[in-house]
Amino acid sequence: MPTEPLRDRAAAYFRDLQDRIVAALEALDGARFREDSWQREGGGGGRSRVLADGGVFEKAGVNFSDVHGEMSEEFAKQVPGEGRDFTACGVSLVLHPRSPMIPTVHANFRFLTKGQRQWFGGGADLTPYYPYREDVIHFHRVLRGACLRHAPLIDYERLKKWCDEYFYLPHRDEPRGVGGLFFDHLEGDGERLFAFVRDCGDSFLDAYLPIVERRKNEPYTERERLFQEFRRGRYVEFNLIYDRGTLFGLKTGGRTESILMSLPPVVRWRYDYRPEPGTREAELYEVYLKPRDWAAEGD
C-alpha cells in the first residue's frame, strides 16, 4: 500500500495532468500557454496556464490549484463534513476554439477534505455549436470506457445522467451541451476511486483531440461564427450562475482571474433568437440538446 497520503498523491497527479494536457494542446495549436503561479492568502496556491489568440484555440485555460484554509461559517454549512477547515486540490480546464465547427470542452478533477470527510469530484462535458454525430459518439464512448473499467464501483449510466442534469440551465430550460460525465462527493474506497479519477483524467485527450483534428480545417461562415458567439452566452450564464467550481473558488478566496478564465473572450446575446427551421442551428436544438445515450449509438 502507498505510504504517501492520498491527498498528496492526488495533488501530484493533478499537477502532472496539467503538464501533459498543456503540452498536447501546445503541440496541436502551435501557440504557447502563459503561466501565472499564485499564492492564496488563506493558504496554498496554484498554477494558471492560459493560451490566447492561438491558431486553433481563441482562449484555453488549464489550471492547477492546491489550497487549504477556513471556509466562511455560511459556506461551511453547504459543504459535507464538520468544522470549517478544508483542503482542495485539482485541475480544471475550459477550451474555447476559434472555429465554430470545433466544440468547446470542459473538464475538472478534484479532491477535497473537510473534517473527517474526503471525496473526489469532477467530470468532462462537450459543448458543440455545429455538432457532428460521430464526434459526439466518440466523446461519450471514451468516457464510458473509463467508467466501465471500474465497474461495478462506478456506474456509467448514473454519472452520465448526473452530467445531463447538472449542466442544465433551468432559466432557459435547455442543456448547456451534449453532456459527458459528472460526479461529486465520491467517498468510500479512496484508492479505487483515485484509480477511476486517474483513468478519467488520462482519457481526456483521447476523448477530445481527435475531434479537434477532424474539424480544425472545416470552413465556416460569418453567420456560423455569430451563432457560436451567441451560444457562448449560454456557457457564460451557466458558469456565473450555477457552476459549483466557480462558486467554490469565489467563496473560499480563490484567485479571481484563474476562476473566471473559463469565460470565452468574445460572446454576444441576441434578443429572442430562434433558429430557422431546417438549418444546422435548429438541428442543435432539436437533436443534440436532448439527452440521449450517445455512447450506445456507436455500438
Catalytic residues: 106
The whole-angstrom separation of Cα 223 and Cα 263 is 22
Residue with cell string 459518439: 137
The total number of residues shown for the chain amounts to 299
List Cβ neighbours of 95 (8 Å cut-off, separation of 6 or more): 25, 57, 60, 61, 104, 105, 106, 208
* CA dihedral for 20, 212, 144, 140, sign (positive or negative): positive
Residue pair 250/259 in contact by the 8 Å Cβ criterion = yes
Phi/psi at 177 (nearest 5 deg)? -155, -145
Asked whether 284 and 101 are in contact (CB, 8 A), the reply is: no
Per DSSP, helices labelled H in the chain are: 6-29, 73-76, 133-148, 156-166, 190-215, 222-241, 244-251, 256-259, 280-283, 294-297
